[in-house]
Amino acid sequence: MAAAAAASVPAIVDSFNAQSKRMESRFQSLHESELRLMPTRTEADTGLVTAMVPTETVILEEVARTELAWLKSEFGMEVVAEGREGKVLLRAPESGEAAIETAFEAARACFERGNVAAAHPNFLRLMRRPQASSAGTETPWHLDNPGNPGVFGADVHALAAWTITKGDSSIRVAILDEGVDTEHSRLKPAVVAERDFVDGNDHARPDGDDAHGTACAGIVCSRDSKVSGLAPNVSLVAARIAKGDGNGFWIFDDFETADAIDWCWEDAGADVLSNSWGGGPEVDAITRAFERARTQGRDGKGAVVVVAAGNSESPVFYPGTLSGVLTVGASNQWDERKTKTSQDGEGWWGSNHGSSLDLVAPGVRIATTDIRGSHGYSSTMFTDTFNGTSSATPMVAACAALILSIRPDLTEGEVRDVITSTADPLAPSGKRNNFVGHGRLNCYAALRAARRR
């Protein structure tokens, strides 16, 4: 999709917002102060976390054919794709800045007419990828922390949890990411469904150096005896929703991301959706897709949605701000909230915080699977340098899968409650706060509590 020149973005956005006050509540994050376009990236951009790139396309939901005909007559908008759950993508007839202006005007007009469930411009998101550790650890401390370095027992209590279950293959965890190496020998036996929403391949494997999704998948269900996932016996769904741009950023398309979410719960039957990504403004298409997953997935019991809080030591990123999702921050080997000054010594990142943060899980120097070959985090099939709330999120997703393995009758809300109510408190008061949520994930306590419900 074509992107606008940087200088044109503020004018387009200001014009869009000025034309309709009603749109401000829905598109409040599209003001000039919050929309940043990054056509080229250099060392000077190191503070940038997410850039929003406007396109010549518009997302609609639950739109009648008569409304599509009106949009074509008034704006020349043509349908270019139809997604799940009534999503439609339309493109403006012009090119360049004119097309983007037309797309914004059409979205505004369609929203004001009130004949659709959602109407907004489609954006590309450029999100900064988490930086790996400079050195790893020899032990999977997140599963069983020996206390060197760190604090003995500052882990998710996996060994105790495994006395109850290592998961059931009927439970499916979806990894929505930059692809998963589904041919990896420690992941392939778990794969039950995969789809590429970026390039349309018949698999979800990544390009080049894109190893992030493979690392997330390994944390859930690696079937290696030394580098095991927390839920090694569950099944894996891989949805490729992003790709690296070669400069340290991911590229996401809002329409494709929303459709991937719907595919995971609706077509692939995912019980848990793990999302180690975030940033940028809220949009209806993605928000509504997550809400459908939570309310309609698992035959109405709801799929559990787990989302990373973010790594900029700032307020939680969207979609972690959404109600009803499990928003996950990161802890370290000393059971501290990961900050730029915590004892692990990684001063370039810290876990995000806020009222929507539910809990934390280990997120520093995590051992997991790596893409095969010379690319990725290492030259082997494994890495011990995976970092961020990106690594903490699939641990919570894996715990949710273990809970459902023994209690498939629980609703997604009950699973969330079990996980948060059994977390080991980290705040001095022992109560929830905006920096560590309810505390650090304790998978064993969560499983015991689930059996007693």
Residues with catalytic roles: 177, 212, 390
- Alpha-carbon distances, residue 329 vs 19, 110, 343, 435 (angstroms): 39, 38, 16, 8
Rounded CA-CA distance 184/450 in Å is 32
Which DSSP letter does residue 141 get? T
Sign of the Cα torsion 16, 19, 24, 26 reads negative
Question: By the 8 A CB rule, do 94 and 55 touch?
Answer: no
* Close Cβ partners of 58 (under 8 Å, ≥ 6 residues apart): 77, 89, 90, 91, 92, 103, 106, 107, 110, 119, 120, 121, 122
Tokens representing 84 are 């799940």
Rounded CA-CA distance 253/1 in Å is 9
Beta bridge partners of 237: 174, 193
Kindly calculate the radius of gyration of the chain based on its CA atoms and give it in whole angstroms.
Answer: 21
Rounded CA-CA distance 303/266 in Å is 10
Beta bridge partners of 375: none
Rounded CA-CA distance 329/277 in Å is 12
Preceding amide of 130 cis, omega within 30: no
Beta bridge partners of 175: 238, 274
Q: What angle do CA 332, 441, 175 make, to 5 degrees?
A: 90
